[in-house]
Amino acid sequence: MKKQIKKWAIAGTMAVCLMMFAGVASAHVTVQPPSVPANSYQVFAVRVPSEEKGFNTVKVQVKVADGAVISRVEPKPGWTSELEKDANGVVTGITWTAAEGGGLSETEFTEFRMSGKVNEDATRLVWKAYQTYSDNKVVEWVGADGSDKPASVTTVTAAVAEGDGHGHDAGAAADASDSKDSDSALPLTLSIIAVVLGLAAVVLAARKNKK
């Protein structure tokens, strides 16, 4: 019985740790979807959670990844967008700025959407982002994989057959939405698992004490 209780307790602890890790990971600025085919048109969603206690996220800047060409952004109420371009007119970055007194509080998140094309020879898209809070603190999401503040990385898969990979913005938007739904469901699923395992450990411990 003692061994069983110990196993349940360990399992519950591991589930809670996994849930906490998922929460931390979801607090990163990321670009969705996480995987796209080469030589395809996509709608990318820049997902921004705000977590600075007492201050709002008031500006988000994203550098366009090498291997992607961004052509337009979706208007967002309460925010203005500005495209940064090089000498040839190619978009190299996008900055979204909140209206005066607006922004994201520590319990909020939002998504900024942009559309464009993935190059035929692209293999990996690295999106560097800069998140500015109302106290002028800037969080730089530019690190390597596994770092505290990693840049978001989109994996590029093989191009699909002609006629299947040119759904343009409509198909890409569906992919981004599916990714959003699956990502948002993960923390809830892990939370439920953690609660069930924790309750099981408590019940077993109570039965042992009665004996």
Tell me what pLDDT residue 27 has: 79
pLDDT in the model for residue 161:
81
| CA distance linking residue 142 with residue 126, whole number of Å | 9
In tens, the pLDDT along 102-144 reads: 999 999 999 999 999 999 999 999 999 999 999 999 999 999 9
pTM here is: 0.69
Could you tell me the residue ranges of all domains in the chain? Answer: 2-210
pLDDT at 44 over 80: yes
Specify the CATH architecture of the domain 2-210. Answer: Sandwich (2.60)
- DSSP for the chain, please give it: -HHHHHHHHHHHHHHHHHHHHHHHHHTS-EEE-SEEETT-EEEEEEEEE---TT--EEEEEEEPPTTEEEEEE---TTEEEEEEE-TTS-EEEEEEEEPTT-SB-TT-EEEEEEEEEE-TT--EEEEEEEEEETTS-EEEE-B-TTSSSBPEEEEEEPPPPTTTS--HHHHHHHHHHHHHHHHHHHHHHHHHHHHHHHHHHHHHHHHHHH-
Per-residue pLDDT tens digits for 146-193: 999 999 999 999 999 875 444 455 455 555 555 445 444 444 444 555
Q: With the CA atoms of 138, 143, 148 and 152 taken in that order, what torsion angle do they form, in degrees rounded to the nearest 10?
A: 90
Percent of the chain with pLDDT over 90: 63
179, amino acid identity: S
